[in-house]
Amino acid sequence: MQLHKSPLWLAIGVTVAPLTQADQRLDTLQVTANRLPQTRADVLASTTIIDRDEIERLQPNSVTELLQARAGVELTRNGARGNQTSLFLRGTNSDHALVLIDGARIASATDGSINWEFLPVAAIQRIEIVRGPRAAAYGADAIGGVINIITRQAEADGEHATLTLRRGSDNSRQETAWFTANQADTQLSALIDHQSTDGFSARANGGDDDGFGQRTGKLAMRHAFGERADLNVSLLRTRNDYDYDDCGYTLSQNCRGQGDQQVLSASLTTHARPGWDTELAVARVSESRERIIDGHSSGETLTRRNEVSLTNRLTGDWGDTALGADFRDASLDSPLTYAEDGRRNWGVFANWNKRLARHQLSAGIRHDDDTRFGGATTGSLAYAYSLTQNQQIGASYGTAYKAPSLLDLYGPYGANPNLDAETSRTRELFWRLDRDAWGLSATAFDTRIDDLIDYDPTTFIPYNVGKARIRGIELAGDWQYGGFALHAALTHQTPENRETSERLKRRARTFGRLDADYTSGDWSFGATLRSAGDRRDTDAATYADTTTAGYGVVDLRTDWQLTPRIALSAKLDNALDRDYQLVDGYNTQGRYLEGGIILRL
């Protein structure tokens, strides 16, 4: 669907999407794909769910470790923790994935980037990854898909406390305290987390270690007003300090970055009548970033985003429907000069899902009006047919767009206020089989992106010129038998620049992941294999085209439930001490040993 210049008159008086009913549980439902609570069988999209049990079993230090090599997911990082990180979802650009925390957008209002290290694993309850265009539900940025990070809240009745202590190589340490209280209709929770490490040199030619430190605090409250309404309030704040290399015009090695992110969100869900919920949700996301080179600060950049949404979710003979409207505004305060320092967006949407015998149909449409580039109408349509009770085939089509950032439109280094949005259209075919002990799925996709934003190498002015086509197939499988559990994902893709017929940079044709775990009594043992083929890249020294070699990395882990209240765990990342790079000229973690204890009080 095409973009056009038009005001969004429909934004007035249209309701938006509510939450799930009180008796529906997030551990059995997915809420991200269509802003509707749906079971896996009802979601006509390629999805991955990572729950708290899996997080604790894998013992990751960062969200990037947790997501790396999942179906359709590639990540690169310029060295140690805190350094620039890019996520390529289904081969699309790093700003073509919409990332949410509890439903609130967290991309920087300046350039649209995500600071992945602001997302502490200790505060995460669940991650929902939905691959493919989701603009019909969320608007801008969801070309490759949506990653919704849902933070922890109290669950068990009564009062509980958990203390986690971990120590590892490179003088790494982590201390986490988690408190919950669940009494009658009110649930309270609080989290405090601290991490630090001396790290390793970010650059392959660097001589000093680049450390990382993080402090996190989280408060949350849920209250049920009988069967009439539910109130949720959450505050998450994270502070990071990190070192990096090659900064400034002199390419100094004395580089430090610091910043913080705060996500405040609240929602009120009312249950007007059976089959009809209404949710009013508000959120405020603020972020600061500052770089210090040779002891001199480059100034602090502050960005803020406010969001309001109103959603109605209705269930009846006609199917499940989400009708809604939302509003968001973003602003920045920078030491650099921007011609404009803010933007606003209004959106209205409708998403619908209906199952009839062996047939299932899902559709969505949305219109957005952005004060900086005009209007956008996007849509999606999906159909599935159940071959058997456990086996399904289907197809889908969707459009999406990426709004140009404030940096591209009005930035100080070169700007183009006449930029159009990047637009995409995606076709998919899928097959999946789900049984009690195992499941298999295959999804073939074809995404075409137009008006990609590129930059003039001499003036740094951005312009619309590029075209890309990304074709691929995702394979995923799960199997459980007794104490054994296997989870596998393999992606083969052709991310191609349609102008030059070259592969898009830093994206492998083939990559995958295999997680294997065995539990016996109080013990569990596991291993993860992450592998990727070679990638086109830019030489860090000469800036010429080069190729970064493929890699395969093995991680090992174990844990022991010593008593009902004490658990011990340990992991050995990169157990074979593989020397590899995700970005040319930048190091990755060598063999890394870490252990910890969990005390449940």
Q: Is the pLDDT of residue 208 over 70?
A: yes
Query: Average of pLDDT values for 27-47?
Result: 84
- Name every residue whose Cβ is closer than 8 Å to that of residue 137 and which is 6 or more positions away in sequence: 33, 34, 35, 322, 349, 351, 364, 366
Q: Which residue has the higher pLDDT, 565 or 8?
A: 565
Q: What is the pLDDT of residues 273-301, one digit of tens each?
A: 889 999 999 999 999 999 998 888 888 99
DSSP string of 306-368?
EEEEEEEEEEETTEEEEEEEEEEEEEEE-SS--S--EEEEEEEEEEEEEEETTEEEEEEEEEE
Tokens describing residue 257: 């970055």
Half-sphere exposure of residue 112, counting CA atoms within 13 Å on the CB side?
21
Mean residue pLDDT of the chain comes to 91
Residue 342 sits at the vertex; the CA angle it makes with 336 and 346, to the nearest 5 degrees, is 160
Q: Is the pLDDT of residue 249 over 90?
A: no
Give buried/exposed letters for 29-51 (b at 16+ CB in 10 A, else e): bbbbbbbbbbeeebbbbbbbebb
| Euclidean distance between CA atoms 173 and 160, whole angstroms | 24
Minimum mean pLDDT range among 10-19, 280-289, 465-474, 592-601: 10-19
How confident is the model at residue 19, as a pLDDT? Answer: 34
Tokens describing residue 126: 């669940």
How confident is the model at residue 444, as a pLDDT? Answer: 98
Q: Which residue has the higher pLDDT, 382 or 452?
A: 382
Q: Is the pLDDT of residue 511 over 50?
A: yes
Contact 346, 11 (CB under 8 A): yes
Tell me if residue 424 falls in helix, strand or coil: strand
Which three-class secondary structure string do you get for 194-260? EEEEEEECCECCCCCCEEEEEEEEEEEEEEEECCCEEEEEEEEEEEEEEEECCECCCCECCEEEEEE
Contact 341, 335 (CB under 8 A): no
Q: Identity (one letter) of the amino acid at 18?
A: P
Instruction: Return the percent helix, strand and coil in the chain, to nearest 5.
Output: 5, 60, 35
Please state, in angstroms and as integers, the Cα–Cα distance from residue 68 to each residue in 33, 75, 131, 177, following that order.
Answer: 21, 6, 15, 27
Tell me if residue 56 falls in helix, strand or coil: helix
Chain centre distance of CA 284: 18
How confident is the model at residue 232, as a pLDDT? Answer: 96
Q: What is the pLDDT of residues 166-201, one digit of tens each?
A: 999 999 999 999 999 998 899 999 999 999 999 999
Q: Is the pLDDT of residue 10 over 50?
A: no
If one counts every other C-beta atom within 10 angstroms of the C-beta of residue 209, the result is 15
For residue 5, give the H/E element and its range. none
Q: Which residue has the higher pLDDT, 296 or 574?
A: 574
Q: What is the pLDDT of residues 76-116, one digit of tens each?
A: 999 889 888 999 999 999 999 999 999 999 998 888 889 89
If one counts every other C-beta atom within 10 angstroms of the C-beta of residue 315, the result is 16
Tokens describing residue 351: 């998403």
Query: Average of pLDDT values for 403-417?
Result: 90
| Euclidean distance between CA atoms 558 and 596, whole angstroms | 11
Tokens describing residue 462: 């951005």
Minimum mean pLDDT range among 319-323, 341-345, 370-374: 370-374
At 267, the pLDDT band (50, 70, 90 cuts) reads: very high
Query: Average of pLDDT values for 323-335?
Result: 94
At 9, the pLDDT band (50, 70, 90 cuts) reads: very low
Q: Is the pLDDT of residue 137 over 50?
A: yes
Tokens describing residue 512: 């995958």
Give buried/exposed letters for 212-223 (b at 16+ CB in 10 A, else e): bbbbbbbebbbe
Nearest to 527 by CA among 58, 56, 54: 58
Q: Is the pLDDT of residue 4 over 70?
A: no
Chain centre distance of CA 172: 25
How confident is the model at residue 337, as a pLDDT? Answer: 87
Nearest to 598 by CA among 55, 189, 176, 124: 176
Q: Considering just the CA atoms, what is the radius of gyration of the chain in Å?
A: 23
Q: Is the pLDDT of residue 27 over 50?
A: no
How confident is the model at residue 17, as a pLDDT? Answer: 35
Tokens describing residue 79: 């060295």
Q: Is the pLDDT of residue 11 over 50?
A: no
DSSP string of 370-409?
ETTTEEEEEEEEEEEEESSSSEEEEEEEEEEEEPPPHHHH
At 118, the pLDDT band (50, 70, 90 cuts) reads: confident
Q: Which residue has the higher pLDDT, 456 or 385?
A: 385
How confident is the model at residue 38, as a pLDDT? Answer: 87
What stretches of 450-511 show up as alpha helix (H) in DSSP?
A: none
Phi, psi of 517 (to 5 degrees): -140, 145
At 528, the pLDDT band (50, 70, 90 cuts) reads: very high
Tokens describing residue 55: 């997080």
Nearest to 236 by CA among 206, 182, 192: 192
If one counts every other C-beta atom within 10 angstroms of the C-beta of residue 294, the result is 12
Q: Which residue has the higher pLDDT, 437 or 123?
A: 123
Q: What is the pLDDT of residues 235-244, one digit of tens each?
A: 999 999 999 8
Q: Is the pLDDT of residue 15 over 70?
A: no
At 3, the pLDDT band (50, 70, 90 cuts) reads: very low
Q: What is the pLDDT of residues 350-377, one digit of tens each?
A: 999 999 999 999 999 999 999 988 899 9
How confident is the model at residue 7, as a pLDDT? Answer: 32
Half-sphere exposure of residue 540, counting CA atoms within 13 Å on the CB side?
20
Query: Average of pLDDT values for 527-552?
Result: 94
How confident is the model at residue 127, as a pLDDT? Answer: 96
Nearest to 574 by CA among 56, 61, 54, 51: 61
At 28, the pLDDT band (50, 70, 90 cuts) reads: low
Burial of 230 (0-12, 13-18, 19+ CB in 10 A): buried
